[in-house]
């Protein structure tokens, strides 16, 4: 019999969405649980995120009469994520869709309030089963709710914004609805201050902070920081605990009922990414996601899938040399009066398409090229988040990643492109902008493209000619929100071997597991939705499949 330094019913690795969902599930089931977090900051990518969860056929949609169904959700998943991998099996997609109600109801039971992003379209809304308004997020919270943990979050800052604010704020200076949303945001901020709650925290901080409060805040699960899981402890083919390093010392932590990996992907592991994905990556998430738990599970027989893929997206290059912190671009590239070109000056994709599709197109076009978003004067009236931080424009200019010019030809010269090539690209695009039809890449055809657009621009709200100086160019890289390959799990979130057998006692959810979404991103929140649903499914399965034990007294 193995001896342990500590023992819990459930040992959870990480402190992001997947880990917090399992911790909440464990508390809900009356199980003792510990989350082990390698970093000195909790929350991982989930804490830095937009906090949106794609949860089709969810109870809030039913309450609103928004019209969704299990069948539509599964049809849409089969169309988009497809059923090509073990990770994307019909059984797993059914488990995900069927697990949505338990997730929402459990959170509400523990005092968490959701809001529906009613206007946010699925990323392929025109495909069978596609809808608008399937994503949920958690309403902004007072940072005080996080107790002492508010001081060591992964996110550098927290604003009181919500998902549907973002697209409206992008056009705050061109539309009445955008301006009204800016005013609402000011009132939300003031309300927090006047009611003594302080500046409210929204998106990823509201999401993880609420879960942390529910799972840990009332004497429930434990969270041990700076405790890195390095290996699994296996007895007679069953996982019974983990080895974790804390302050230079190896601890053996026993799991009476199960171990769940919620340790994110291998975003910061440059060597592994180069080997498996062909580029070192420009992650917007935390660099402590190194993939150690994925490697440990593989060593003990776990099958892996989708290791060549990530939640890609075009990002403005980082201005912090040595520290990856690129600015992930969602809305600005879809707005009129701008295009994205390669280092020769050619367009290569629909700039307004989903970030994962754009990332795939960048990779397929040129793995090691440079990329530029070219825009003209009128693009400056939109909220350009990537230039908001003080001094960032100056730093981008100094490192040769931002240029301004009075003509397209002058800009091309600054970018080392042939002026006639960029001129021809811009002339062709301007023709599309005037006719309203992007004959090359169909920008603006989908309701998804038009979520970020300017309805005052006619005939196509995503297209606008580049003709008014000054013009500018900002450098893009192939960024990501995390990797999406990892251990293969079944519909109960149990880790599987190559031969399909279950590794008893071992579960996984989130980016350390191969995604149920396959190579795609069906709708807003397609990483956090499955991470929390499968995290909770793991806790429910652990509770049901193993014998009850007494609560941890420690
Ligand atoms: C800026 C940004 C915005 C995003 N917005 C959205 C969004 O709105 N909707 C959406 O669906 N997705 C979004 N994403 C993606 C989403 O945040 C991630 O896919 C998701 O957070 C992954 O959750 P996770 O629980 O798997 O991992 P994470 O949240 O990354 O947590 C993993 C944790 O495990 C820890 N860890 C790693 N290795 C070990 C180890 N060996 N021992 C102990 N701990 C370890 C890490 O330090 C980390 O804290 C966004 C990402 C970013 C960066």
Please tell me whether residue 316 adopts helix, strand or coil conformation: strand
Q: Say what percent of the chain tops pLDDT 70.
A: 92
Res. 186: pLDDT tops 60: no
Residue 340's DSSP bridge partners are 373
Q: What is the pLDDT of residues 2-29, one digit of tens each?
A: 899 999 999 999 999 999 999 999 999 9
Q: Please report whether residue 413 resides in a domain.
A: yes
The finding on whether 228 has its CB within 6 A of some atom of ligand 1 is yes
Residue of higher predicted confidence among 489 and 176: 489
Residue 373 belongs to what H/E stretch? strand 371-375
Distance 438 CA to ligand 1 centre (A): 36
Closest CA to 40 of 246, 219, 241: 246
CATH number of 470's domain: 3.90.700.10
Residue 452 structural domain:
312-480
Distance 243 CA to ligand 1 centre (A): 22
Round to whole Å and give the CA distance between 72 and 189: 38
Distance 187 CA to ligand 1 centre (A): 30
Round to whole Å and give the CA distance between 534 and 312: 22
**Residue given tokens 């290996």 in the structure block:** 231
Q: What is the pLDDT of residues 342-385, one digit of tens each?
A: 999 999 999 999 999 999 999 999 988 899 999 999 999 998 98
**Residue given tokens 């402890």 in the structure block:** 233
Q: Name the band, by pLDDT with cuts 50, 70 and 90, for residue 552.
A: very low
Q: Please report whether residue 474 resides in a domain.
A: yes
Q: Please report whether residue 237 resides in a domain.
A: no
Closest CA to 212 of 60, 96, 51, 325: 51
Q: Name the band, by pLDDT with cuts 50, 70 and 90, for residue 548.
A: low
Residue nearest to atom 8 of ligand 1 (CA): 50
Q: Name the band, by pLDDT with cuts 50, 70 and 90, for residue 202.
A: confident
Q: What is the pLDDT of residues 451-495, one digit of tens each?
A: 999 999 999 999 999 999 999 999 999 999 999 999 999 999 999
Residue 17 CA, closest ligand 1 atom number: 25
> How much is the pLDDT for 166?
64
Res. 298: pLDDT tops 60: yes
Round to whole Å and give the CA distance between 371 and 179: 32
Which residues have CB under 8 Å from 265's CB, separation 6+?
A: 289, 291, 294, 310, 482, 483, 484, 485, 486, 511, 512
3-state secondary structure 58-92: CHHHHHHCCCCCHHHHHHHHHHHCCCCCCCCCHHH
Q: Please report whether residue 290 resides in a domain.
A: no
> How much is the pLDDT for 171?
61
Distance 153 CA to ligand 1 centre (A): 12
Q: Please report whether residue 329 resides in a domain.
A: yes
Most confident of 24-38, 133-147, 309-323: 24-38
Round to whole Å and give the CA distance between 391 and 309: 33
The finding on whether 50 has its CB within 6 A of some atom of ligand 1 is yes
The finding on whether 526 has its CB within 6 A of some atom of ligand 1 is yes
Instruction: Provide the whole-model pTM.
Output: 0.95
Taking CA atoms, 268 is separated from 124, 192, 280, 283, 368, in Å, by 30, 36, 9, 7, 18
Q: What is the pLDDT of residues 77-130, one digit of tens each?
A: 999 999 999 999 999 999 999 999 999 999 999 999 999 999 999 999 999 999
- The domain tally of the chain equals 1
Q: Name the band, by pLDDT with cuts 50, 70 and 90, for residue 168.
A: low
Average pLDDT over residues 138-145: 90
Omega cis (within 30) before 254: no
The finding on whether 396 has its CB within 6 A of some atom of ligand 1 is no
Res. 195: pLDDT tops 90: no
Q: Please report whether residue 255 resides in a domain.
A: no
The finding on whether 52 has its CB within 6 A of some atom of ligand 1 is yes
> How much is the pLDDT for 550?
43
> How much is the pLDDT for 554?
40
Residue nearest to atom 21 of ligand 1 (CA): 46
Q: Please report whether residue 220 resides in a domain.
A: no
Q: Please report whether residue 337 resides in a domain.
A: yes
**Contact status, residue 486 vs residue 298, Cβ threshold 8 Å:** no
The finding on whether 286 has its CB within 6 A of some atom of ligand 1 is yes
């Amino acid at each position: 019999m193995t001896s342990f330094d500590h023992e819990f019913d459930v040992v959870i690795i990480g402190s992001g969405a997947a880990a917090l969902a399992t911790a909440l599930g464990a508390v809900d089931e009356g199980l003792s649980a510990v989350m082990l977090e390698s970093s000195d900051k909790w929350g991982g990518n989930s804490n830095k995120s937009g906090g949106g969860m794609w949860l089709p056929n969810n109870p809030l949609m039913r309450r609103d009469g928004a019209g969704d169904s299990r069948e539509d959700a599964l049809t849409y998943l089969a169309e988009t994520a497809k059923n090509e991998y073990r990770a994307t099996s019909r059984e797993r997609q059914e488990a995900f869709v069927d697990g949505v109600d338990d997730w929402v109801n459990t959170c509400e039971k523990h005092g968490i309030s959701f809001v529906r992003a009613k206007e946010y379209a699925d990323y392929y809304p025109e495909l069978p089963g596609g809808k608008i308004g399937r994503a949920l997020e958690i309403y902004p919270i007072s940072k005080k709710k996080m107790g002492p943990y508010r001081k060591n979050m992964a996110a550098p800052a927290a604003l009181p914004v919500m998902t549907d604010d973002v697209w409206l704020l992008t056009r705050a200076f061109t539309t009445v609805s955008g301006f009204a949303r800016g005013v609402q945001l000011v009132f939300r901020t003031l309300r927090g201050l006047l009611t003594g709650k302080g500046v409210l925290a929204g998106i990823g901080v509201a999401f993880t902070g609420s879960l942390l409060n529910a799972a840990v805040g009332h004497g429930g699960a434990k969270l041990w920081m700076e405790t890195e899981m390095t290996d699994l402890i296996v007895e007679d083919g069953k996982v019974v605990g983990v080895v974790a390093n804390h302050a230079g010392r190896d601890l053996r932590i026993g799991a009476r009922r199960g171990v769940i990996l919620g340790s994110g992907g291998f975003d910061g592991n440059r060597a592994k990414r180069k080997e498996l994905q062909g580029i070192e990556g420009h992650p917007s998430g935390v660099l402590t996601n190194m993939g150690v738990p994925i490697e440990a599970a593989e060593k003990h027989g776990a099958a892996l899938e989708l290791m060549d893929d990530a939640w890609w997206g075009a990002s403005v290059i980082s201005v912090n040399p040595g520290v990856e912190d690129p600015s992930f671009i969602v809305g600005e590239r879809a707005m009129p009066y701008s295009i994205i070109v390669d280092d020769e000056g050619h367009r290569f994709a629909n700039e307004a398409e989903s970030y994962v599709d754009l990332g795939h197109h960048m990779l397929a076009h040129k793995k090691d090229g440079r990329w530029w978003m070219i825009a003209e004067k009128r693009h400056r009236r939109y909220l350009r988040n990537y230039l908001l931080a003080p001094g960032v424009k100056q730093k981008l200019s100094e490192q040769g990643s931002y240029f301004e010019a009075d003509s397209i030809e002058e800009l091309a010269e600054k970018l080392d492109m042939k002026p006639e090539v960029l001129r021809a690209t811009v002339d062709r695009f301007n023709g599309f902008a005037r006719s309203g039809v992007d004959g090359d890449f169909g920008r603006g055809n989908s309701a998804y493209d038009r979520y970020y657009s300017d309805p005052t621009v006619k005939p196509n709200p995503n297209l606008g000619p580049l003709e008014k100086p000054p013009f500018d160019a900002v450098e893009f890289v192939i960024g990501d929100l995390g990797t999406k390959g990892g251990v293969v799990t079944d519909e109960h979130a149990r880790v599987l071997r190559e031969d399909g057998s279950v590794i008893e006692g071992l579960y996984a959810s989130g980016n350390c597991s191969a995604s149920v979404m396959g190579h795609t991103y069906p709708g807003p929140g397609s990483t956090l939705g499955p991470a929390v649903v499968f995290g909770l499914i793991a806790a429910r399965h652990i509770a049901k499949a193993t014998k009850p034990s007494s609560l941890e007294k420690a």
